[in-house]
Structure 1
């Protein structure tokens, strides 16, 4: 039951385009591939009926909390006048596990259930291990009707109702320097309020967790309104601060809004401007900007090559499809005995770790040239950042960043707790890093951290461990991780007998197994946005993802695999 939300939230995506969302019936697992959402489906709550039983009043209140209304007026009808005055539904949301009904006696009604996740006041999801035990404080009012005197803090919603009542949207904010965007997912109640919530998020700024890693919001700007017309244009009207915005600031804000409204299948374009005035004419689109606009701000850089690379007998090769190592193409003649390697996103340069794992060398593809980048003991899998620096970890669990000029900076990792970094992957935009950390007892866990710069030295902080256990895989060791998209991961796990791949949202709100079936010795992932994920076995066999639980043989004889 603990992870039922994982499949249910994905189911909500598939149902979003229907004319209605059922609130009963079986849960079916569907593909975890991200999709655009329609926020227009709402649950219609009912006020308390005459002479309703105590249990019916509590259940009605729980149902009403799952449906947004202005000031949650229907939900307040279940409360005593004093409780209604003090209740603050905007304080946040707790999502509790299914299969935990309210237990009522003649005098009280109590809900005891595990809390699987929470939303803060900004709509940001976070996994939870809390257990709630709440007595609703049932009393008889002056009309001899049962009413609730002790509502919970904020909203309390079951997994199933949460999946039907809330929609996941992704506001975007600029990475440092303002060249590309960073996703910051939120959940909002379905309905027109989700449109407004998305625009308000952009105007107010990133969540507390992400804010130190991205550019701040423009000062003084406030949201006046955000509505979507019948033709699918999101019209966003703003209120000025102390001064107007210059053309570059207008373009930047419009870019954030356009990318943020891509979350909605009902939105095809965006216009933005000051309240009571004509929309801004934003170059090069004019007053109405298609949601496909500003492709240059993509959080994921464009791949210089969509082909898989790897190491074969210590040499960097372009992996050609089909079994048989003889088909692979050697691309970096200068590399002859590497243990680990990576290829830059433009597919022009590789970086290789030497045979004794002490040296790091740059190797232009197509040239028999090596340029030393320096030495350090126990080097492991390197990775290029979007700016062209090389990140690498070592056996001591340290992270280092090496500039193209060979300058080394040891990263500072805080908040990780006891343990050593075993594997890592930078997010496509470079502001977050997924980490596999080995605890002193040997268990390897997954977590997400921010990447910030302090006096030009990289700082990895804000660690948030992600629980990837599902009902069928309760005890897991995390082996590897990669970014499938700018806000989602693929995670390679082992339960001690078999190995498998999970699709995981960066906030942990969804965790869905995707296969391959019956694999026992998988050890490494190769993942990048827009290309088919690959997984390698300990024997060097490579498998290609086709669809959930459908993987095909791709290559053999490789000691490591990676995309640019």
Structure 2
């Protein structure tokens, strides 16, 4: 123990245990202004119904105006409350306490998480004196405070959890995941349990970013029946959901899709098992009842329970199938079709979702071809050709979406373009991508199974590679379809550089990258940029490519340089998969 020196106040690191609960404490009588500010900041982190205790630290006017559900500001650590400057703010006029921190994200009123590069956060809390409740004295209370809630990352992760809402892709009959955050326990404002919060969030509609590309089958204005704060399954695992009169007249097919949206959404809540959803009219009669198995037809990926197979390109540029169920250093399997026979030497490949066709870019990056991987056929002419002088400036690795459309980027500096090939065999259609004119270079791309989102590794003019998610918008009006990729959003702004990315389910990515001054990491990231302490995978050096399945039945596969093609089985460490040299491992997509 030190025996000299001054005393300094330090902030402890809180791991954010989700089992810990904070109970708000009301202000004590004759509390000093410092205590009022600190007590309020602590009360914001609690589950106190209506934030009633936190409001006791506020003046009556401030308590009425404060809307904690309006937004959440997420900081790296708890907000740093500085001392008030008494000379700058005389006691008769109150005191101002500067609030500082490093902001890493915001959550809006629709529960959407938006990450950001760590930036300085500044605001202030102002306290004034007002008559006490008994009228015999004066007490300090807050009359100005930051909007919404201001929480540390640990408190945010303790109080909130991520769930996927599901909506239908515009003009299509399959669903798209829309991640949002709800309270882990009862919501202090609505008094709703997590299941009811989730249903309410679904009925409110998609987040602002996804809204232009999806539709809800619930009629506009549909809400839970007034007064419903708890939803629970019966002994048959059926969840009955009472709606207001806006949904009373929907037909059977529309109702079936409404129930499917609910079943997919509630499937992400591990705390409840829902096998069937029954939607009810305002008078309590049944609209429709749909079982979980019936909703599966609206999934963007159908594998029939067989699981997915990974593929890679061996040292001779030949397409091979990876034996994920085998032991370490097993033999790679020959893939049927021209690419498996070495008809052309490949640099990169993509397998369609049905595992019937492969798209391959030649060794020099100049030509894109599509061939069957079920039977031997003559290799067809190239669908697309790049005229760039350097191989590295030619075609990127391709990617298939769930519609059967094929995507690829031509990185020619003279005219960079993004292409989509309808059905993987039609006339290439140039995608509208206005951000390409800003000097961004597409290092790689991966399209989601639903075809509504695209993950892009973009290199800027400073040589920094970042990961962004773009929204895919399609316009079928007119003589020819128009496809655009717009509204790019950063996913891991805290990473200095990103090396590789792969979709790992409906709203999750596997990302390889490193933070400033850090080592390379392989981690899971939500498409909204949210991460958790458990999302980091075991360490692996020199990763240049990564591939993940749509579900957890198959392992994550990576190209790790010196170790070659490796796999990660849940609960184990990385292990080498095949004896031969190879690169570009991929799952269908």
Using the size of structure 2 for normalisation, the TM-score is 0.81
Instruction: Tell me the SS of whatever aligns to 2:224.
Output: strand
Are 1:142 and 2:131 counterparts? yes
Cα 1:500–1:134, aligned 2, differ >3 Å: closer, same or farther? closer
The 5 Å alignment of 1:494-533 reads: 494=514, 499-510=520-531, 514-517=536-539, 519=541, 521-530=542-551, 531-533=554-556
CA–CA distance in structure 1, aligned partners of residues 519 and 318 of structure 2: 30
Moved more, 264-273 or 441-450: 264-273
| Structure 1 stretches of at least 4 aligned residues deviating more than 6 Å after TM superposition | none
Cα 1:110–1:235, aligned 2, differ >3 Å: closer, same or farther? farther
Cα 1:176–1:517, aligned 2, differ >3 Å: closer, same or farther? same
Aligned to 1:26: none
1:365-418 CA-to-partner distances (Å, cap 9, x unmatched) read 231422235232122211122111211122235321112333101111245754
The 5 Å alignment of 1:56-71 reads: 56-68=35-47, 71=50
1:233-269 CA-to-partner distances (Å, cap 9, x unmatched) read 5432112338710111100111111121223233223
Contact 1:203–1:218 (8 Å) recurs in 2: no
Aligned to 1:399: 418
CA–CA distance in structure 2, aligned partners of residues 341 and 95 of structure 1: 40
Aligned to 2:337: 332
Using the size of structure 1 for normalisation, the TM-score is 0.85
Aligned to 1:35: none
Instruction: Tell me the SS of whatever aligns to 1:294.
Output: helix
Moved more, 431-440 or 167-176: 167-176
Instruction: Tell me the SS of whatever aligns to 1:476.
Output: strand
Aligned to 1:45: 24
Aligned length: 521
The 5 Å alignment of 1:96-111 reads: 96-98=75-77, 100-105=79-84, 107-111=95-99
Q: Is there any run of 5+ residues in structure 1 with no aligned partner, and where?
A: 13-20, 24-42, 470-474
**Which of 1 and 2 has greater Rg?**
2
The 5 Å alignment of 1:399-438 reads: 399-404=418-423, 405-415=425-435, 417-438=438-459
Cα 1:418–1:47, aligned 2, differ >3 Å: closer, same or farther? farther
The 5 Å alignment of 1:303-452 reads: 306-312=308-314, 313-320=316-323, 321=326, 327-333=332-338, 335-365=343-373, 366-377=375-386, 378-396=394-412, 397-404=416-423, 405-415=425-435, 417-452=438-473
Instruction: Tell me the SS of whatever aligns to 1:534.
Output: strand
CA–CA distance in structure 1, aligned partners of residues 214 and 295 of structure 2: 19
Cα 1:121–1:328, aligned 2, differ >3 Å: closer, same or farther? same
CA–CA distance in structure 2, aligned partners of residues 166 and 515 of structure 1: 23
1:72 is aligned, of 51, 69, 81, to: 51
Aligned to 2:104: 116
CA–CA distance in structure 1, aligned partners of residues 332 and 64 of structure 2: 72
> How far off its partner does 1:302 sit?
2.5
CA–CA distance in structure 2, aligned partners of residues 460 and 524 of structure 1: 24
Cα 1:132–1:233, aligned 2, differ >3 Å: closer, same or farther? farther
Cα 1:193–1:379, aligned 2, differ >3 Å: closer, same or farther? same
1:191-245 CA-to-partner distances (Å, cap 9, x unmatched) read 1343333222222311110011112453342322352237465432112338710
Cα 1:271–1:360, aligned 2, differ >3 Å: closer, same or farther? same
Instruction: Tell me the SS of whatever aligns to 1:434.
Output: strand
1:499-532 CA-to-partner distances (Å, cap 9, x unmatched) read 431211111121656344351x221112221221
CA–CA distance in structure 2, aligned partners of residues 486 and 277 of structure 1: 34
Aligned to 1:215: 215
Query: Root-mean-square deviation (CA), in Å?
Result: 2.9
CA–CA distance in structure 1, aligned partners of residues 247 and 177 of structure 2: 28
Cα 1:322–1:368, aligned 2, differ >3 Å: closer, same or farther? farther
1:252 is aligned, of 234, 252, 257, to: 257
Are 1:482 and 2:505 counterparts? no
CA–CA distance in structure 2, aligned partners of residues 330 and 135 of structure 1: 64
Contact 2:80–2:99 (8 Å) recurs in 1: yes
